[in-house]
Each structure stands twice: as C-alpha cells, then as structure tokens.
C-alpha cells in the first residue's frame, strides 16, 4: 500500500475544487481529486493506496464530495494527526475510514504501509505506529459499512 503524503490543513477545496461539485458520482469526482494541489494523484493513485495527512485534515466545507472523491480513487483509509470534524463524520458515514495517528507527520511520501486494523497498528518501513481507536458509536456505523446500511435497518431512532 503506497503512501500519498500530504501536509497540515488539507482543506476540502484542495481535495475536490468547488467547480466539480456538480458531480455526485465517486468515479467522476476521483478524476479531479486534488486537482490543482497535486495533479499526479488522480493519474497515478492505485486502489488500496493510503493517504497520510498532517493536522486538521479535511477542514473547510461540508461537501461529502471530498471523501467520495477519495473513495472513488480506490483509497479506503486516511491516516492523519487530526481531522476536521465534518470530514471525519462524512468519512465514517460514507465508508472511508479516518485513522488518527499522532506521529503521522514522520511517515514519508511514497513509503509502503501495512495496516493491522485489528490491533490499531500499522507498519511503515519496519517502524511501528499506533492509531487511536475509533469511538464506539462510530465503530458501529463503520462496521455496518457506513450510515446508509446502518440506517436502512432502522424504522425509528427516537
């Protein structure tokens, strides 16, 4: 799994610029993921690659097109030092798993990363990293495959 490394405060306009929000299909959005910020990403990303960010990943707008553009690229996990709130929720809801790792900034771009989800760990070039466990309630949603499959089974919630 190749690492695509990004810095701090990667905002939703960087992930998917406003002019592409007319599209709702993850595959279509993926063609423009990080356009203008990192043009090689959309061309070279392979399914299974992992995005690693710094602080406040996904800050900015509530556009769910941001996690969808990432999912459409075949990326299933984003690891970052911290996430912006709406992006974090949107990711869990749409099936992209956001993992918090306080040492994420030390991971180099292009490295190979092996994820061991079951024990909140991953390995990069022989070094061990820990991720913070996903909060219980969100894990339920995540394990259901996102908020849509979770909600389909429910008649009422209050």
| Residue of 40, 118, 126, 158 interacting with another protein (CB under 8 A) | 158
Q: What are the CA-CA distances from residue 27 to residues 24, 75, 84, 105 (Å)?
A: 9, 12, 24, 29
Q: Do 3 and 50 form a contact (C-beta atoms < 8 A)?
A: yes
Largest CA distance in the chain: 48
Please report how close the Cβ of residue 38 comes to another protein at its closest, in angstroms. Answer: 10
Q: Smallest distance, Å, CB 94 to another protein?
A: 6
* Cα–Cα separations (whole angstroms), residue 58 to 2, 61, 150, 151: 20, 8, 24, 25
Residues 43-62 that bind another protein (CB under 8 A): 55-56, 59-62
Of 71-79, 89-97, 106-114, 115-123: span binding another protein (CB under 8 A):
89-97
Question: Closest approach of Cβ 5 to another protein, in Å?
Answer: 17
User: How many residues of this chain bind another protein (CB under 8 A)?
Assistant: 42
Query: Parallel, antiparallel, or unpaired for β 113-116 and 121-124?
Result: antiparallel
Cα separation, 75 vs 52, in Å, equals 11
> And the tokens for 48?
């299974």
Q: Is 142 in the site for another protein (CB under 8 A)?
A: no
- Minimum CB separation of residue 106 from another protein in Å reads 19
Q: How many CA atoms lie within 13 A of 14 on its CB side?
A: 16
Summarize as ranges the residues that interact with another protein (CB under 8 A): 9, 11, 13-14, 17-24, 36-37, 55-56, 59-65, 82, 84-86, 89-90, 93-94, 135, 137, 146-148, 151-152, 154, 156-158
């Amino acid at each position: 799994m190749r690492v695509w490394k990004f810095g701090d405060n990667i905002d939703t306009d960087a992930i998917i610029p406003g002019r592409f929000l007319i599209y709702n299909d993850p595959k279509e959005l993926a063609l423009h993921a990080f356009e203008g910020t990192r043009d090689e990403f959309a061309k070279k990303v392979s399914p299974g690659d992992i995005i690693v960010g710094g602080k406040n990943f996904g800050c900015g707008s509530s556009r769910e097109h941001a996690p969808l553009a990432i999912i459409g690229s075949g990326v299933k996990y984003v690891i970052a030092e911290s996430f912006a709130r709406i992006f974090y929720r949107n990711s869990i809801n749409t099936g992209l798993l956001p993992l918090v790792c306080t040492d994420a900034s030390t991971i180099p771009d292009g490295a190979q990363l092996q994820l061991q989800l079951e024990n909140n760990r991953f390995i990069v070039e022989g070094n061990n990293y820990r991720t913070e466990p996903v909060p219980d309630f969100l894990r339920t949603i995540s394990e259901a495959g996102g908020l849509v499959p979770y909600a389909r089974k429910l008649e009422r919630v209050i």
